[in-house]
Amino acid sequence: MSTIQALQQLTKETEEFQKHIEQRGKELLLQATQELLQNNPQVRKLYWTQYTPYFNDGDPCYFRVNDVNALIEDPEKIKAYEAEKRAHEDKQATAKALSAEQRTKLGIEIEEWIEPDLDSLCNDEYVGTYSADKKRAKYGAVWDDIIEVANWVGAKANESTLETVFGDHVKVIITRNGVVVEEYDHD
């Protein structure tokens, strides 16, 4: 084998290995996020943006993956929602026990409960370590699981995998239903 053939073979092996790493990275990331979401129903979704900036004050523009956010149920909002729903059910039980004439006389109406948008019971949280103790106190141990995924996504070594898997100038949204990749317009 000539030296040039050895170099060509090395290029082929490098490309195959890169494809393997990218595919395996995608599989493991999706598996990790699905495990997190399935084991922690209070986490509704994880998302981040990734793109190459158009301008960087004259410095070269390089692809980057931005911070991860999590949409996670707020325990306080859930508690308030449950109390409001119980109060509504109690009021409606009382109203239904009255005759139509009594309800009219008292100005009481039978009202159907309208479920809120479940996302309204959530907080959109930036995932970072700077307030991990505070967020862990609020959300419990799930916060550590979220940070682990965010740290993997945010690792510089994984940027090329994420770019290859999801693309450039995109917002990546991971839910229990899978991954949605949307075009992302940035400055």
At residue 26, the pLDDT reads 85
Q: Is residue 95 part of a domain?
A: no
**Closest listed residue to residue 73, CA positions, set 147, 139, 3:** 139
Helical spans, DSSP H, in 40-176: 75-97, 100-106, 132-139, 142-154, 159-166
User: Helix (H, G, I), strand (E, B), or coil: what is residue 47?
Assistant: strand
At residue 160, the pLDDT reads 87
- Residues of the chain with pLDDT below 70 are none
Domain with 41 in it:
3-72+123-183
Q: Is residue 111 part of a domain?
A: no
What is the pTM for the complete model shown? 0.78
Q: Is residue 108 part of a domain?
A: no
Q: Is residue 155 part of a domain?
A: yes
Q: Is residue 174 part of a domain?
A: yes
> What sign for the dihedral angle of Cα 158, 176, 69, 48?
positive
Q: Is residue 138 part of a domain?
A: yes
Q: What is the pLDDT of residues 78-110, one digit of tens each?
A: 999 999 999 999 989 988 999 989 988 888 888
Domains in the chain, number? 1
Q: Is residue 163 part of a domain?
A: yes
Q: Is residue 24 part of a domain?
A: yes
